[in-house]
Amino acid sequence: MAETLEELAAAAAAGDAQALTALIREIQHPIYGLALRFLGHPNDAEDATQEILLRVTTRLAGFEGRSKFMTWTYTIATRMLLRTRQRTNEALIVGPERFGEILDAGMSDQDPTADHAEYEQLAEEVRVSCTYGMLLCLSRPLRVAYILGDVLGLPDTAGAEICDVKPPAFRQRLARARRIMRQVIDGRCGLIDAANSCRCQGQVASGLAAGLLDPRHLPYTDHPRLTDNATFVRAANELDDLVAVGSLYRCDRFAAPATVWKEIEQAFPELAGPEITPQT
């Protein structure tokens, strides 16, 4: 960008509508990504993103530049997410042990459809749903630490600032989150180790039978992205350690839906110009 986020924030706080427009367009996608990973469903993430962006916009005057603008923004976003009511997806995931049992019970070699293209779409939906379900195995404080540390790659000083804890406490949370993730993944997930038995394709039949997969509605597979899925293939081939599993989430760069921008435009009519919707 020609201007940094910090410069845009200062100009926006001073009343520059074009700077505010550029700022919100830039941050809406990372904020949506944070909310999606935290809440585990696009609809919930969309609602949360709208609320977060409204809060950020109305509090721009409070940004004093003592930290990076995204650190300040993630702090607002994280605290709002931690206070939201428990969503349906969270309530369905009752811990790593039960989640692992569900995966084990769903394994199958059955190909549920003769349409190979449709089958691959269903397998892709399983992949994203499963990896995001893993995140919901973590308690909210541990989930935040894992997303900030291993997915977004923030240093412990920034993670601690966002979580309002000391760096050693943040590192402890991150270590506990990694142990729980390892409990789900080790010896099971074929994305991490080709020798493991669980395959996304092998979960399709059970997902269809349980009504968890609907070929007519694939919220992740049909979701607009900022990058294509080839990024995932390259990242997955490099995975050989639990810490590197953050690549699974970094490669799925989902774009904020166009309705997020429309909501912000309605709240702030001074924003300039329409949002450009990313390609699916």
Residue 232's pLDDT is 54
Over residues 59-87, the mean pLDDT reads 94
Domain-located, residue 279: no
Domain-located, residue 278: no
Domain-located, residue 221: yes
Statement: the pTM of the whole predicted model exceeds 0.95? no
Q: How confident is the model at residue 237 (pLDDT cuts 50, 70, 90)?
A: low
The long-range contacts involving 55-60, CB below 8 angstroms and separated by at least 24 positions, are: 55/80, 56/24, 56/27, 56/31, 57/20, 57/24, 57/264, 57/267, 57/268, 60/9, 60/12, 60/13, 60/20
**What is the extent of the structural domain holding 40?**
5-267
Over residues 135-154, the mean pLDDT reads 95
Domain-located, residue 23: yes
pLDDT over 90 (residue 200): no
Q: Give CA–CA dist 3/30, Å, rounded.
A: 18
Which residue has better confidence, 114 or 119? 119
Sequence-distant (≥ 6) Cβ neighbours of residue 59 within 8 angstroms: 76
Domain-located, residue 94: yes
Token digits for 69? 């603008």
pLDDT over 70 (residue 165): yes
Report the candidate in 28, 133, 40, 27 with the shortest Cα–Cα distance to residue 81: 40
Domains in the chain, number: 1
Domain-located, residue 275: no
Domain-located, residue 227: yes
Which residue has better confidence, 277 or 152? 152
pLDDT over 90 (residue 240): no
Residue 27's pLDDT is 96
pLDDT over 50 (residue 93): yes
Q: Give CA–CA dist 267/245, Å, rounded.
A: 38
Element (H, E) at 130: helix 116-136
Domain-located, residue 176: yes
Reduced to 3 states (helix: H, G, I; strand: E, B; else coil), residue 138 is coil
